[in-house]
Amino acid sequence: MFLRLLFLGFSLGTFYALVSLGFSLVFGVTRIFNLAYGELILIGAYVAYWFVRNGLPFVAAFPVSIALLLVAGWIMTHLGFRIRQPYVLNSLLGTLGLAIILQNLYGSLFGGDYHLLNLPSLSGRIDLGLFFVSPGKFAVMVTSLTLIIVTHVFMTYTDTGLRIRATVQNREAALLSGVDVRRMSFLANFLGAALVGMAGPLFVTVHYLYPLAGIEITLLAILITILVGVGRTGAVIIGGIVLGIMESLTAYYLGGEWQEFLIALALILMLIIRPTGLLHGHGEE
């Protein structure tokens, strides 16, 4: 059972990592604390739900979702450059407003109902010997891991990735070194938007969808970003998996009522003991 729970936590954690990756990346570069992040993920989720409900193939939702998010990312980047001081407070208020607008838009277009995609092609079970896993969860896990690894490789081994990371670490120093930080902001936003566009359709296959579901995603992304340290895209996977495993083990051995308490406790301890993040000092700096 313990191994099964570890696998469940791992699987949940990879999904958590995917939905948090875009937030971590964009926040690291632009310092925009995007409170509408979860609502942006819901764009792809609602697109996928609408596609399937109208007889269109689920996979076709991915390019549409990514395209919509790239447009949204482009608009947000432009608006982001116009934010005046106090920058952090203004970006918080601006994205909070956007979140409320999107929540109401979803409510108007799709109603307040809860929805879940139960695709025949992703249901059923894969026998892994010790336990089962659904093709849907397996697909989400593999897609999440692939996207996280690709993003990590891009950020670690390409010139552009290194420039983005330099901007994350010290915007002023990067600027003095000749890095076009404005361009890096655009690129980070575009990369983040593409990741969000991928995460959206996957979200509705593993979690129910409703207009306020974005709030939970945003909180999750903030939690993981704080846990691993700002801008540490590669470490997001560790944060996601730690959180996923904590949730699974707590729910089984202690009970569901302890989940939030223990996660909050871990976060507080983290902020006291390692305020710069769980993996501070282990590469990626």
Compute the least distance from the CB of residue 133 to another protein, in Å.
Answer: 7
Residue from 129, 178, 255, 283 that binds another protein (CB under 8 A)? 255
Compute the least distance from the CB of residue 256 to another protein, in Å.
Answer: 4
Assess 264 for contact with another protein (CB under 8 A). Answer: no
**With respect to another protein, which residue has the nearer C-beta, 67 or 212?**
212
- Contacting range for another protein; rule: CB under 8 A; set: 38-46, 158-166, 230-238, 250-258: 250-258
Compute the least distance from the CB of residue 64 to another protein, in Å.
Answer: 21
Compute the least distance from the CB of residue 113 to another protein, in Å.
Answer: 5
Assess 249 for contact with another protein (CB under 8 A). Answer: yes
Assess 19 for contact with another protein (CB under 8 A). Answer: no
Contacts with another protein in 90-149 (CB under 8 A)? 103, 107, 111-118, 123, 125, 131-134, 136-137
- Contacting range for another protein; rule: CB under 8 A; set: 26-34, 89-97, 146-154, 242-250: 242-250
Assess 178 for contact with another protein (CB under 8 A). Answer: no
DSSP string computed for the chain = -HHHHHHHHHHHHHHHHHHHHHHHHHHHHH----TTHHHHHHHHHHHHHHHHHTT--GGGHHHHHHHHHHHHHHHHHHHHHTPPSSHHHHHHHHHHHHHHHHHHHHHHHH-S--B----GGG-S-EE-SSSEE-HHHHHHHHHHHHHHHHHHHHHHHSHHHHHHHHHHH-HHHHHHTT--HHHHHHHHHHHHHHHHHHHHHHHHHHS-B-TTHHHHHHHHHHHHHHHH-TT-TTTHHHHHHHHHHHHHHHHHHT-GGGHHHHHHHHHHHHHHH-TT-TTTTSS--
Assess 272 for contact with another protein (CB under 8 A). Answer: no
Assess 206 for contact with another protein (CB under 8 A). Answer: yes
Assess 63 for contact with another protein (CB under 8 A). Answer: no
Please tell me the distance from the alpha carbon of residue 114 to that of residue 211, in angstroms, as a whole number: 8
Q: Which chain residues interact with another protein by CB under 8 A? A: 1, 4-5, 8, 12, 103, 107, 111-118, 123, 125, 131-134, 136-137, 206-208, 210-212, 216, 247-249, 251-252, 255-257, 259-260
